[in-house]
A and B are shown apart, each in its own frame.
Chain A
């Protein structure tokens, strides 16, 4: 395995090259095996402390990180803004410095403002993992999605599914790209592994500028649906409705939802992913979501080994 220097922090997929991503996915494969054992836990990070610091609500991401830390035998601390001194007006800097003073080795940060984890990384000596910042990035989601796609397409028993190669795959990321940190991280990661990425959505929900995005763009899902090997549905953030970017949820479903009709027109063997939580009946029909063809449960399951890989990589070795 080639040596790849991963920086002390994981702030985004931007800045990771193909080799760094593949290395993390290989580690995730090792940790997937750990999860299947009678005792699904290793002593790798004994004595380390991982704090999840969430200024935005989340269940699955926070639980997934905490579970990953515990399966590496690290201790965990949980900080949620709603029950903290932030409600008394404490600044971000004071908050993270206070948490770090309690002795933590990694801060897993989610914040509504893009760039907040990068700021935190400048203030603290601990490692920082971006668990979602504004509409910027959500790198561990992209990594677990890469893993899920490779695993689904590879023959069983392959060590790193598919060798980490997505060349020749056509992946469509559908929906509210403009407000999605998942879309950005996924587009970068899929492209780094060799896939061709198409963003699909109404013009009002695509970013105003796509400079630097290694992607194609389409505003008609039906025109590209038959060419996609992977359909990645984004959550429609219904609060955007108020900003008049969409005429109605029903019209969105008509044009961009994975309806039963569209599901029948998917390529044979096409994969359907969704980062959750799903709006059933909007971006995906309830019946399609329940079908075995969607990989939503696998995505959640793969979140833990993927985050174990990230924490192990950042916290192993001398500082």
Chain B
């Protein structure tokens, strides 16, 4: 579930009710460590690497991933925080809110960017993120890491690193937090 959907849900007076825990805190931690190894393996280390968390759900995961990579490889990786609000394709359809100010510690030209988000769903947030990244320089490559891939893609986008593939119904919601991953529904109050 994207931040936009979360807020849209609150606006119409519905609340998120968890139905089942899919991953616990230890599962999320193990998945992050595995993804950290995969990123290092695929890119042969941390040279030119930049992690970019998507506001707001991707940012804490990107921070933890940066810690995991530093713990394995011993080198710190630059960490950016990207807000894609102004690049969304649903601006003409509904009020789009900026989550937070973007911060990009380095120019992205010739860097390898790993975009990090909590849940991959329609792919529209990632599409917006790719456009937003282009305004920070021409990356040599962009890869995508997500904690949960829940399917229902509307665009030709696929993740490079996945914590868990989770089959879902379209109307279900997936929430990722420090405590783990839960699946649930929006229920009228």
Interface, chain A (partner B; CB < 8 A)? 1, 3, 26-27, 29-30, 32-34, 37-39, 41-45, 47, 72, 159, 312, 316-318
Shortest distance in angstroms between B6's beta carbon and chain A's nearest beta carbon?
A: 12
Query: Can you report 18 residue pairs joining A to B where beta carbons are below 8 Å apart?
Result: A1-B97, A29-B101, A30-B86, A30-B102, A33-B103, A38-B135, A42-B135, A43-B86, A43-B87, A44-B87, A44-B91, A72-B86, A159-B101, A312-B86, A316-B92, A317-B91, A317-B93, A317-B94
Contact A30 B137 (CB under 8 A): no
Q: Main SS of the interface on chain B?
A: loop
Contact B87 A42 (CB under 8 A): yes
Bound-state CA distance A318–B136 (Å) is: 29
Q: B115-155, CB under 8 A of A: which get 1 and which 0?
A: 00000000000000001101111000000000000000000
In the complex, B83 has a CB within 8 A of chain A? yes
Q: B76-108, CB under 8 A of A: which get 1 and which 0?
A: 000000010111000111111111111110010
CB contacts between A and B, total, < 8 Å: 61
Bound-state CA distance A159–B101 (Å) is: 6
Shortest distance in angstroms between A123's beta carbon and chain B's nearest beta carbon?
A: 24
In the complex, B41 has a CB within 8 A of chain A? no
> Which residues of chain A come closer than 8 Å to B5, judged between CB atoms?
none
Contact A318 B11 (CB under 8 A): no
Number of interface residues of B (CB under 8 A): 28
In the complex, B30 has a CB within 8 A of chain A? no
Bound-state CA distance A227–B87 (Å) is: 45
In the complex, B7 has a CB within 8 A of chain A? yes
Chain B residue with Cβ nearest A5: B95
Chain B residue with Cβ nearest A27: B98
Q: B1-18, CB under 8 A of A: which get 1 and which 0?
A: 000000100110000000
> Which residues of chain A come closer than 8 Å to B97, judged between CB atoms?
1
Contact A42 B86 (CB under 8 A): yes
Chain A residue with Cβ nearest B102: A33
CB within 8 Å for A317 and B86 given contacts A33-B103, A43-B131: no
6 other A-B residue contacts (CB within 8 Å) besides A1-B99, A32-B101, A43-B86: A30-B86, A30-B98, A38-B136, A38-B137, A43-B87, A317-B96
Nearest 6 pairs between A and B by C-beta?
A: A42-B86, A317-B95, A44-B86, A39-B135, A30-B98, A316-B91
Contact B86 A26 (CB under 8 A): no
Bound-state CA distance A27–B97 (Å) is: 8
> Which residues of chain B come closer than 8 Å to A29, judged between CB atoms?
101
